[in-house]
């Protein structure tokens, strides 16, 4: 991601702890994505789960985003074990998953896909995760 124009992001304390472990564990097997995720965590403002704003992308959030070519997509940000792109479940351990975490409605970010092509997306809506799903998903991560 382009460090000079990165948007401010916020991540819950629970997501931060779980994603830090996940990113560090993946440094050998998936170094590019792990480093991208850990970089996002390093620059994020950490907020208590109970104080998290509902319109910020966190684990389990369902969100819509628009790409620079106008394509709209609706996805849910999930842990790798729950990923299934055919039903819109995007893993945090993908370039786009790492780019989405912590963004708020209206924010844009430029990210590089797996082939290295740089793309910009804008988050257009965010639905917070169901409360019971947050705890269960974190336990499986």
- CA proximity to 119, closest of 59, 71, 78: 71
118 φ/ψ angles, rounded to the nearest 5 degrees: -85, 135
Q: Work out the average pLDDT over 44-70.
A: 95
> Per residue in 21-35, pLDDT tens?
999 999 999 999 999
Domain count within the chain: 1
Sequence-separated contacts (24+) of 80-84 with Cβ below 8 Å: 80/22, 80/141, 81/140, 81/141, 82/137, 82/140
In the DSSP assignment, the letter for residue 105 is: T
CA distance 58 to 78: 9
* Best CA proximity match to 99, nearest among 82, 115, 83, 123: 123
- Is pLDDT at 5 greater than 90 in this prediction? no
pLDDT in tens, 72-94: 999 999 999 999 999 999 999 99
68 pLDDT more than 70: yes
Q: Which domain holds residue 45?
A: 3-140
Could you tell me the pLDDT band of residue 131, with boundaries at 50, 70 and 90? confident
Give the CATH number, domain containing residue 36.
3.10.50.30
More confident residue, 129 or 4: 129
State residue 115's pLDDT score: 86
pLDDT tens digits, 89-118: 999 999 999 999 999 999 999 998 888 899
Q: What is the mean pLDDT of the chain?
A: 91
- The partner residues of 76 in beta bridges, in order of sequence, read 62, 89
User: What is the pLDDT at residue 113?
Assistant: 83
SS3 label, residue 136: helix
pLDDT of the residue at 139: 56
- Who contacts 117 (Cβ-Cβ below 8 Å, separation ≥6)? none
């Amino acid at each position: 991601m382009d460090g000079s124009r990165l948007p401010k992001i916020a991540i819950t304390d629970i997501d931060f702890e779980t994603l830090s472990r996940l990113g560090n564990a993946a440094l050998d097997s998936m170094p590019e994505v792990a480093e991208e995720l850990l970089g996002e965590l390093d620059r994020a403002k950490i907020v208590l789960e109970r104080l998290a704003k509902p319109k910020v992308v966190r684990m389990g959030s369902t969100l819509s985003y628009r790409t620079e070519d106008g394509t709209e997509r609706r996805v849910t940000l999930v842990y790798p074990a729950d990923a299934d792109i055919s039903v819109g479940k995007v893993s945090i351990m993908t370039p786009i998953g790492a780019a989405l975490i912590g963004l708020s409605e209206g924010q844009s970010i430029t990210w590089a896909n797996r082939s290295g092509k740089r793309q910009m997306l804008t988050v257009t809506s965010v639905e917070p995760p169901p409360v019971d799903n947050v705890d269960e998903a974190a336990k499986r991560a």
